[in-house]
Amino acid sequence: MSLPGPWYLGLAAILFGIGAIGLLMRRNVLIMFMCIELMLNAANLTFVTFARMLHDIGGQAVVFFVLVVAAAEVVVGLGIVVAIFRRRASATADDFHILKG
């Protein structure tokens, strides 16, 4: 059978860290979105690993819902990016200060 759970948990932690580094360091909004997807995938991997370790299908059910929420989030997020890009013709997070008073 598969390797012990902590291997998967460590890999998921590293994947989450890479996603967080990318989210904090990159300035391109689209790439920041992709980094959020990386972090969501790390969380999904953790859930599936715990579902296997605890013999509990609930972890996989949660991953199912995370997939749905991720799809909805990407749709709305990219809609916002398109709407902002139409005004400012830039995909850099530092240029987005429309709401500044």
Contacting another protein within 3-22 (CB under 8 A): 3-11, 13-22
Q: Which of 3, 13, 1 is nearest to 46 (CA)?
A: 13
The type of residue at 88 is R
**Residue 101 burial class via C-beta count within 10 angstroms: exposed 0-12, middle 13-18, buried 19 and up:** exposed
94 binds another protein (CB under 8 A): yes
1 binds another protein (CB under 8 A): yes
Residues 18-77 that bind another protein (CB under 8 A): 18-22, 24-28, 30-31, 33-35, 37-38, 41, 44-45, 48-58, 60-61, 63-65, 67-76
